[in-house]
Amino acid sequence: MTVRRKELHLAAHFPGVNNTTVWADPRAKSQIEFSSFEQLARTAERGLFDFFFLAEGLRLREHKGRIHDLDVVGRPESLTVLNALAAVTDRIGLAATVNATFNEPYDLARRLTTLDHLSGGRAAWNVVTSSDAFTGENFRRGRYLDRADRYTRAAEFVTVARQLWDSWTADGVSRPFAHRGRHFDITGESTVPRSPQGHPVVIQAGDSDEGREFAAATADVIFTRHGTLEAGRAFYADVKKRLEKYGRGPDGLKIMPGVTVVLGDTAAEAQEKASEIRRLQVSPQNAILTLEQIWGVDLSSYDPDGPLPETDPVPEPSITQGRTRHGDTVAIAEKWRALSKEKGLSIRETVIEASTRQSFIGTPEAVATELDEFVRRDAADGFILVPHLTPGGLDEFVDRVVPLLQERGAFRTEYQGATLRSHLGLSDPVGRS
Ligand SMILES: Cc1cc2nc3c(=O)[nH]c(=O)nc-3n(C[C@H](O)[C@H](O)[C@H](O)COP(=O)(O)O)c2cc1C
């Protein structure tokens, strides 16, 4: 067997409040009941995935003063769910998205170490910095932390967490810690002994320049939206290049875009299925809602099958609250209008075309080949699969694509080690003292 240069990594994103979810499908089940989390995690483990991933929302999003349709089912707390999953799974990594703006290092480091102990070394933390006044109200902090300060706090947060994780030696001796910085001034002793991984795996998901720098300095994995071959290769090169100045080699940081997969027995069948899923995801009503989130105003009088508004988006206040920022909405509107004019697309068709993320569509053979090619061509180190169905959305991938990846030597045929660090091929924790 030839020795492969790179190993492909896979993770499962639990669907729910993301805009790929199709609730109208009769097979869709609860996004809150434990059986749903358990089913998807077990499927991913059967497929030998590296980790199971939970996103986080600290306030239900609102649109026109009402809870956003996809959030009406609620958003449970990730670490609690993952601790329960640790009991019904053996090998798969368990990744929680947890905000560095609305938590405290001592408490969070302790909760993550506890998950790492309970799971036998499978914990991961996706450090996000999202903060807006709307979310802050849930924490009585109002306009807490400017955008510019979020990564300063996050960087200091991770530094302190690592100090806490290192405050117990591998042979069980606890040493007091002391940290005095701009955001935290804490001393004491960690209550939990060093966990199997030493440091839970750190994931990062921001995309700004500060976000990329933070990832290069700190993270073990990046969850990115740059999923196409071209954008993926540019992002990959950019971030890997930044590692050197932190004394890190390129293999120490894995880049994993969030992608979707649609399978069919023929290429045409898969394409037909993918178009149908997009039409279900972007219903006429959803098309208007998406447009309103960008334009920031009520557009209910517009016909989803008609042209886009000629007016520009309004600056704050928007009628939408609690969403991750879109960037420059006027520029987006211009881009969408140009797209619509160029291709003669209606509002709904434009939303479908403009909001489609990287999707691998085809026969299992074609999809396996393409996934492997992306990794071989340095557009990614692996993928976070975002299914559109809860909780059965990965069944077909695990049954039909994973064996083909294994056949071509692109993916493991069994878990080699017990910890998530070992699945990811990561050595010592970053910054370990
Ligand atoms: C792929 C991806 C997934 C994200 N998931 C979450 C999430 O689940 N919860 C959250 O609060 N923020 C999430 N974010 C937001 C980012 O972590 C980050 O806080 C935000 O993008 C602002 O950082 P930036 O300016 O560096 O992009 C996500 C971002 C990306 C790119």
How distant is the alpha carbon of residue 67 from its chain centre? Answer: 22
CA of 221 to the centre of ligand 1 (A): 14
* For range 124-149, the mean pLDDT: 81
* Model confidence at 4: pLDDT above 80: no
Residue 400 DSSP label: I
- Peptide bond between residue 364 and the one before it cis (omega within 30 degrees of 0): no
* For range 157-171, the mean pLDDT: 94
Q: Which long-range contacts (CB under 8 A, 24 or more apart) does 427-431 make?
A: 427/252, 428/198, 429/162, 429/165, 429/197, 429/198, 429/199, 429/220, 430/162, 430/199, 430/202, 430/218, 430/219, 430/220, 430/248, 430/252, 431/159, 431/162, 431/199, 431/218
The strand pair at 254-263 and 177-180 is best described as unpaired
Encoded tokens for 398: 């695990």
List, for residues 56-74, the tens digit of each pLDDT value: 998 888 888 888 888 877 8
Give the span between the Cα atoms of 298 and 292, in whole angstroms.
6
Our mutation pick for probing the ligand 1 site, out of 61, 126, 324, counting the most ligand atoms within 8 A of Cβ, is: 324
Give the span between the Cα atoms of 220 and 155, in whole angstroms.
14
Does 132 or 220 have the greater pLDDT score?
A: 220
Residue 69 DSSP label: G
Please give the pLDDT value at position 19: 78
Our mutation pick for probing the ligand 1 site, out of 54, 126, 149, 207, counting the most ligand atoms within 8 A of Cβ, is: 207
List, for residues 301-344, the tens digit of each pLDDT value: 999 999 999 999 988 777 888 766 557 899 999 999 999 999 99
- How much of the chain exceeds pLDDT 70, in percent? 96
Encoded tokens for 313: 């988006």
CA of 129 to the centre of ligand 1 (A): 7
Across 11-20, 87-96, 259-268, 276-285, least confident range: 11-20
Considering the entire predicted model, what is its pTM? 0.93
Q: 3-state DSSP: the chain helix, strand, coil percent, rounded to 5?
A: 40, 15, 45
Nearest Cα to 215, choosing from 127, 149, 147, 109? 127
* For range 117-138, the mean pLDDT: 90
Please give the pLDDT value at position 402: 98
- How much of the chain exceeds pLDDT 90, in percent? 76
Give the span between the Cα atoms of 12 and 123, in whole angstroms.
14
Instruction: State whether the beta carbon of 128 lies less than 6 angstroms from ligand 1.
Output: yes
Instruction: State whether the beta carbon of 22 lies less than 6 angstroms from ligand 1.
Output: no
List, for residues 262-314, the tens digit of each pLDDT value: 999 999 999 999 999 999 989 899 899 999 989 999 999 999 999 999 999 98
Across 13-27, 235-249, 411-425, least confident range: 13-27
Residues sharing a CB contact under 8 Å with residue 366, sequence separation 6 or more, in sequence order: 267
* Model confidence at 24: pLDDT above 90: no
Element (H, E) at 151: helix 147-165
CA of 366 to the centre of ligand 1 (A): 31
Instruction: State whether the beta carbon of 206 lies less than 6 angstroms from ligand 1.
Output: yes
Please give the pLDDT value at position 1: 46
Burial (CB count <10 Å: 0-12, 13-18, 19+), residue 95: buried
Q: Please, are residues 246 and 1 in contact by the beta-carbon 8 Å criterion?
A: no
Per-chain mean pLDDT for the chain: 92
* For range 155-162, the mean pLDDT: 96
Instruction: State whether the beta carbon of 93 lies less than 6 angstroms from ligand 1.
Output: no
Instruction: State whether the beta carbon of 255 lies less than 6 angstroms from ligand 1.
Output: no
List, for residues 353-404, the tens digit of each pLDDT value: 988 877 899 999 999 999 999 999 999 999 999 999 999 999 999 999 999 9
Please give the pLDDT value at position 276: 93
Please give the pLDDT value at position 428: 65
* Model confidence at 241: pLDDT above 80: yes
Give the span between the Cα atoms of 187 and 184, in whole angstroms.
10
CA of 130 to the centre of ligand 1 (A): 6
Instruction: State whether the beta carbon of 413 lies less than 6 angstroms from ligand 1.
Output: no
Please give the pLDDT value at position 142: 64
Could you identify the atom of ligand 1 that is nearest to the CA of residue 130?
A: 19
Distances 431 to 123, 143, 167 between C-alpha atoms, Å? 17, 32, 13
Give the span between the Cα atoms of 154 and 316, in whole angstroms.
26
Tell me the three state secondary structure of residue 189. Answer: coil
* For range 79-101, the mean pLDDT: 97
Nearest Cα to 172, choosing from 152, 195, 143? 195
Instruction: State whether the beta carbon of 402 lies less than 6 angstroms from ligand 1.
Output: no
Please give the pLDDT value at position 139: 83
Please give the pLDDT value at position 143: 63
Residues sharing a CB contact under 8 Å with residue 132, sequence separation 6 or more, in sequence order: 322
Instruction: State whether the beta carbon of 151 lies less than 6 angstroms from ligand 1.
Output: no
Going by alpha carbons, the residue nearest to atom 2 of ligand 1 is 205
Please give the pLDDT value at position 170: 85
Q: Which long-range contacts (CB under 8 A, 24 or more apart) does 275-279 make?
A: 277/22, 277/388, 278/352, 278/356, 279/352
Please give the pLDDT value at position 327: 74
The strand pair at 382-385 and 359-362 is best described as unpaired
